[in-house]
Amino acid sequence: MSLAVVRSRAPAAGRAPEVTVEVHLANGLPSFSIVGLPDLEVRESRERVRAALQNCGFDFPVRRITVNLAPADLPKESGRFDLPIALGILAASGQIPAESLVNREFAGELSLTGALRPMRGAFAMACGTARGARAGAGAGARAAVDDGNAAAQLPPPRNPQLYLPAASAAEAALVPGVDVYGATDLPSLCAHLADAPDARLHPVAAPSLADAAPAAVPDMGDVIGQRGARRALEVAAAGGHHVLLIGPPGAGKSMLAARLPGLLPPMTDDEALSSAALLSASRAGFTPAQWRRRPFRAPHHSSSAAALVGGRNPPQPGEITLAHLGVLFLDELPEFDRDVLETLREPLEASRITISRAALQADFPAACQLIAAMNPCPCGWRGDPNGRCRCTPEIAARYLRKLSGPLLDRIDIQLEVPALTSTELSARSTAAGESSEAIARRVHAARERQLARQGKTNRELSGREVDEVCRPDAAGEALLREAGERFGWSARAYYRVLKVARTIADLAGASMPSAAQIGEAVQYRRAFGSS
């Protein structure tokens, strides 16, 4: 046989689309070419595959070898195609049975000795394999009905088989509906495919996460004082609202931000799969210890726009996507380049980001919760009663102008965090407040009310939905109208105050926002006055 077909998958925006690796051996001058839009890493696999086959005792065909990676318009990157290319050459040259590759998928980077190295994207690849199997099973059932065989007994579906490096198999095994096999090297995998005695590989069992010690999560009970900020974070967690904390150095802004993930509700199965697939396919990587943990991303203020929202060619996800279903923390917000911050405006509103390049367009999810922190002026001490600030009003205003009005308009809660007094610090044994666990119970109950009422968080409500579910009572509506006129709010700011008030009412179990709850929501928009 001079032609072999092997199935694999490519990392692409966390989706891992299927790639068919076609290997053809022909007569002619010896050569080894790879086509199908491979990048440099994939083209270099020619040398890795050649050396691995020879060092493992296989015959490398002295023929014209052509490898096609289909579809041809999908960019291929990384060394994951080493293994399927090597298996295709072995099957095409008759050194392993070609039928052993049917209905199986393979991925892995080969060393020159034939050992399989760990690879990124194993979890995303397993998710793609599971989706492909479900789609194939659905198509088969529909075909049986169309043929008039609705009563025919279809064979029970079998889990698809996925073969990966042993070091990467554990994370892929977390995906249900896929039999994941881990191989340490090429000879052991080939012996398994040839059905050699005493050489059978067995599916990898999913890691037992229930018995694993949970990672330490910062507790809100460690925070001294700051009752207003603690309450604001509870409201933000309950409704999924974005937050901006403004205060002097040492006030506890970063400490509060790090505790927001501990207040959020547990991840559902679908949310855990989506988040893990994105991390797995990215250069950040994914480990089983991160399973069902809300992401917390805190990029440095020197980050570029491509690092924050995504970029490169082919497009790669940025920090706002890696924080999907979790928290994106931007400390020292005005220190970010203004043009970089402006790229956040659309994804914060739409919860998605589309990166377009000449040959490819990628759509990434970005439903994260933004929490940002900043000082009130360059020195950080503006408004300090001890007079430590030496910034002129013009310098302070120029510092705040680094943040545009449209960006601030999209941040629901803007809160001043005052410095702690010496009395509060000395009474730290009695100043600690509620634990994250106690607050999280209230947050979870409020989220359940929102999901039962509208199927989404309050932050995600559209304008028409806000009119339907967030309308306050008469006193609250009068107070809201007065505040809007006084501060000159935009329509977006007006509706965001209503959403925050609806969340406060959900925390209290109220049927509609009252004047007191509207008043609290208004207080969360006063840090920048007319914003």
Q: What is the pLDDT of residue 15?
A: 75
For residue 233, what pLDDT band results from cuts at 50, 70 and 90? Answer: very high
Compute the distance between CA of residue 196 and CA of residue 467 in angstroms, rounded to an integer. Answer: 68
Name the burial class of residue 216, with classes exposed (0-12), middle (13-18) and buried (19+) by CB atoms within 10 angstroms of its CB. exposed
pLDDT at residue number 87: 97
Lowest-pLDDT range of 52-61, 221-230, 282-291, 392-401: 282-291
Of 164-168, 314-318, 424-428, the one with minimum mean pLDDT is 424-428
Q: Which of 447, 524, 430 minimizes the C-alpha distance to 480?
A: 524
Q: In this predicted structure, what is the pLDDT of residue 527?
A: 60
Overall fold of domain 225-432: Rossmann fold (3.40.50)
Q: Give the pLDDT band of residue 297 (cuts 50, 70, 90).
A: very high
Q: If we measure between CA atoms, which residue out of 184, 171, 208 comes closest to residue 113?
A: 184
The model's confidence at residue 138, banded by pLDDT at 50, 70 and 90, is: low
Evaluate if residue 156 carries a pLDDT over 60.
no
Residue 531, pLDDT score: 43
State the number of CA atoms in the 13 A half-sphere of 148 facing the CB: 0
When pLDDT is averaged across residues 253-274 and rounded to a whole number, the result is 91
pTM of the entire predicted model: 0.84
- pLDDT for 145 equals 44
CA distances from 468 to 385, 460, 462, 464 (A): 45, 14, 10, 6
Residue 526: predicted pLDDT = 72
Q: What is the pLDDT of residue 517?
A: 94
DSSP 306-357: HHHHEETTTTEE-HHHHTTTSEEEESSGGGS-HHHHHTTHHHHHHSEEEEE-
Q: Does residue 87 contact residue 94 with C-beta atoms inside 8 Å?
A: no
Give the pLDDT of residue 88.
Answer: 96
Q: Is the confidence at residue 431, as pLDDT, over 60?
A: no
Backbone phi, then psi, for 329, in 5-degree steps? -105, 120
Give the range among 48-62, 155-169, 296-310 with minimum mean pLDDT.
Answer: 155-169
pLDDT > 70: what percent of the chain? 91
Per-residue confidence (pLDDT) for residue 326, from 0 to 100: 93
Residue type, 241: H
Among 2, 67, 68, 62, residue whose Cα is nearest residue 28: 62
CB 245 within 8 A of CB 257: yes
The model's confidence at residue 150, banded by pLDDT at 50, 70 and 90, is very low
- Got the DSSP string for 38-103? B-HHHHTHHHHHHHHHHHTTPPPP-SEEEEEEESTTS-B-SGGGHHHHHHHHHHHTTSS-GGGGTT
144: which DSSP letter?
A: H
Domain ranges of the chain: 3-193, 225-432, 461-531
pLDDT at 292 (0 to 100): 84
Taking residues 111-128, report their average pLDDT: 92
- The predicted pLDDT at position 333 comes to 93
From the options 3.30.499.10, 3.30.230.10, 1.10.8.50, 3.40.50.1110, give the CATH code of 3-193. 3.30.230.10
- pLDDT of 9 reads 93
Q: What pLDDT shows up at residue 144?
A: 46
The yes-or-no verdict on residue 423 having pLDDT over 80 is no
Question: pLDDT for 159-214, tens place per residue?
Answer: 899 999 999 998 899 888 899 999 999 999 999 999 877 778 999 987 765 544 45
Confidence of residue 223 (pLDDT cuts 50, 70, 90): confident
Mean pLDDT of 39-65: 94
